[in-house]
Each structure stands twice: as C-alpha cells, then as structure tokens.
Amino acid sequence: MKIIDLRSDTVTKPSEGMRAAMAAADVGDDVYGEDPTVNRLEARLAEMLGKEAAIYVATGTQSNLIGLMAHCERGDEYIVGQQAHTYKYEGGGAAVLGSIQPQPIDNEPDGTLDLSKVAAAVKPDDSHFARTRLLALENTLGGKVIPLAYIEEAEKLARSRGLGMHLDGARLFNAVVKLGVPVGGIARHFDTVSVCLSKGLGAPVGSVLVGSKVLVDRARRWRKVLGGGMRQAGLMAAAGLYALDHNIARLADDHANARALADALAGVDGVKIDPALVQTNMVFMAVAPHLAGPLREHLARHGMMISAAPTIRLVTHLDVNRADVMAFAQAVRDFFRESREASSRATALA
Ligand SMILES: *Cc1c(COP(=O)(O)O)cnc(C)c1O
C-alpha cells in the first residue's frame, strides 16, 4: 500500500536522481570554505536572489536564527507576526540564544501585518525600550502568498524607520511560482532571505540564508558558534542544487493538486472548507472536533496520514500525485458516510 502523507511537505524522500547527484558530489571541508558543492549552492542562490552572498545551514530554524542574530544584538528587537515561524515555532530561539526580543503583531487574514500597527510598535530611542531593529516577514505564510505591493509598502516603512528587512522564505519558491515573478523581484525588498530546500523542493536536509556580504559574514560566525559548521556538507548541498534544477517549476503541480483536493473535499458532507482560499500547496479543512480523532484513525487504516487537530492542514508535495489526492478525498467521503450510517443505525435501535 502506498502511504499518502499529507502532514507536511517536509516528508518527501530524495528521488533516485537526487541520490545519484549526492553520491557523485565533489566535497571538501566547508568550515575552511573548501567544499566546492556547498560553494556552488551558495553562489547559485545568491545569484538567483540578486544578493552578494549566501550560507548553507542544516535547517530553516538555524537559518532564521543566524539571520536575526546578524541583524540584531543583545537588547535589540524584531517586529514579527504572531503566526510567524520565527516567533511561534522556533522555541523562542532569538530570545533564548540571541538575547533579541520579539515584538509580535497579529497577522491579518491574508498573512500580512497591518503597517499602522507595525509603525506604532517601533520604539523611540529611549533607554526604557528595546531598540527596534528589524521587520521579519514570512512568505508564503500558511500557504498564502504575501502580495508584492504590500511588501513594497512594508519596505518603505521599514527603511523610513531605519529597520532592516528579513524574510522567512521557507516556501519562497511556492510564492514565486504562484505569482510568476522572478525570485529576485521578491528578494530585492529584503536584506536577508532564508530559503528551505527540504520543503516542497524535496531535498532531505538544508536551508540557505541569502543577503549582503556583511550580514552573511556575521551569520557565518553565528553558525559556527551555534555548532552548525559542517564539514563535507557537499553531499547534502548536492541535493539542494538538484532541487533547484528540477523541483521549482513543478511546484505548480502541488498547487494544482491542492486546489483539486480542496474542490473534492468541498463536496463532502461533514467537511468545512473554502477552496477559494487555497493559493499554493496547503489546504485547511475543519471537521467536528469529536470526529477529528476517528477520521485520522480511519485514514491511517488506508495508509493516509494527517495531522491531529480539528482544523486539519493538508499539504501537497512531490511524493503525492493527483490520483493520491483524489483517493484521499474519497476516503474522507467514505468516513463521513459510514459515520452517518452508524449514527442512524444507533438512532433506529434506540
Ligand atoms: C519549516 C519552516 C521553517 C524551518 O524549519 P526547519 O524544520 O527548522 O527546517 C521556517 N519557517 C517556516 C515558515 C517553515 O515552514
């Protein structure tokens, strides 16, 4: 039985072609700057994003952290969304390890931050306050593409207040493919951009922080301090290069599969979903809280994996195809039909 795992786009396994590229990689000691494959990956992403430099790291969490630490010093502050990975899902790393205070602001339904709230959160130069240094955005956020016009306005505000701009672009290429713009068109508004290779791009490991030479040099120092200096990392970087060559344009398939999945689920009695909200590779469906656990168990018996929550995030990726998402929607439909039949039998017996 093929496992259909819709929990995340991190679950993808390296393809045969990717494994061959990894096996054939030229390597060296990257802490000495001597791994040719890592150097190629860094140069490639810097060029794609229109920046001076880049640094390869183990995870997106580390990439964001060294990015924040490159911008901010002890007692500084970054403005960030309540739902942002760099605030909510990184164990408080910026505060714990960087002595950097987050200033969270509620995300609007479209994933943006209200710029009047951002402006109001910038602190005056006064010893009572942390020094506001940075605006951190995320694109895509919850599968939503942050509009380019908004990013331009956000940058204007940040520059007028002397703030740096960091982008958590874990899924930046999903936004790029959705908008049909060159990646540099988004990246140019930011000083640093973190890109994950291990999400929809399908590499087993790795993220890259891209930015100016000054900021990336600082980030490189923090990577070493955090224990993230790797040696013959070209074995993994080769997977990243392979992903950039083969797996960007095909993200459009994931987006189309997500939309088809949402359309199919919209016809299921018992599922609450709005297919019009699907922009990239994420679908959110709500079910009655008491049925969330039983639904998950039913799907597991059919080799289908979802997260545990009443609002269920379903993520498409390169290891699920159109037939898989259709089979998944059918299994959800079967579950609700069976549970309705079981409850009407129970009513008849009572
Ligand atoms: C996955 C992800 C990260 C980084 O996660 P790691 O698991 O540390 O690689 C950062 N930001 C966002 C938005 C993510 O989805």
For the chain (350 residues), the mean pLDDT of every run of 10, in chain order, is 96 98 98 98 98 98 98 98 98 97 98 98 97 98 98 98 98 98 98 98 98 98 98 98 98 98 97 97 96 96 92 97 98 96 86
**Ligand 1 mutation target, pool 56, 65, 85, 193, most atoms within 8 A of CB:** 85
User: 12-246 with 250-349: one CATH topology?
Assistant: no
Asked if 168 contacts 114 with a C-beta cutoff of 8 angstroms, the reply is no
Half-sphere exposure at residue 225, Cβ-oriented, CA atoms within 13 angstroms: 12
85 CA from centroid of ligand 1 (Å): 7
Q: What per-residue confidence (pLDDT) applies to 350?
A: 76
What secondary structure letter does DSSP report for 25? -
Residue 97 CA to residue 236 CA, distance in Å, equals: 26
350 CA from centroid of ligand 1 (Å): 50
Q: What per-residue confidence (pLDDT) applies to 270?
A: 96
**Ligand 1 mutation target, pool 57, 87, 89, 205, most atoms within 8 A of CB:** 89
Instruction: For residue 59, give the ligand 1 atom closest to its CA.
Output: 9
pTM: 0.97
Q: What per-residue confidence (pLDDT) applies to 228?
A: 98
Q: What per-residue confidence (pLDDT) applies to 47?
A: 98
Would you list the domain boundaries of the chain? 12-246, 250-349
Within 6 Å (CB) of ligand 1, which residues are found? 59-61, 64, 85, 138, 168, 170, 196, 198-199, 207
Backbone dihedral region for residue 50 (phi beyond 0: left; psi -120 to 50: alpha; all else: beta): left
Q: Whose CA is nearest to atom 15 of ligand 1?
A: 170
Q: What per-residue confidence (pLDDT) applies to 348?
A: 86
Residue 323 CA to residue 320 CA, distance in Å, equals: 8
CATH architecture of 250-349: Alpha-Beta Complex (3.90)
Asked if 318 contacts 254 with a C-beta cutoff of 8 angstroms, the reply is yes
Q: What per-residue confidence (pLDDT) applies to 308?
A: 84
Q: Which residue has the tokens 């995870």?
A: 59
Sorted by sequence, the CB contacts under 8 Å of residue 114 that are 6+ apart come out as 105, 106, 108
Q: Any idea which fold 12-246 has?
A: Aspartate Aminotransferase; domain 2 (3.40.640)
Q: What per-residue confidence (pLDDT) applies to 202?
A: 98
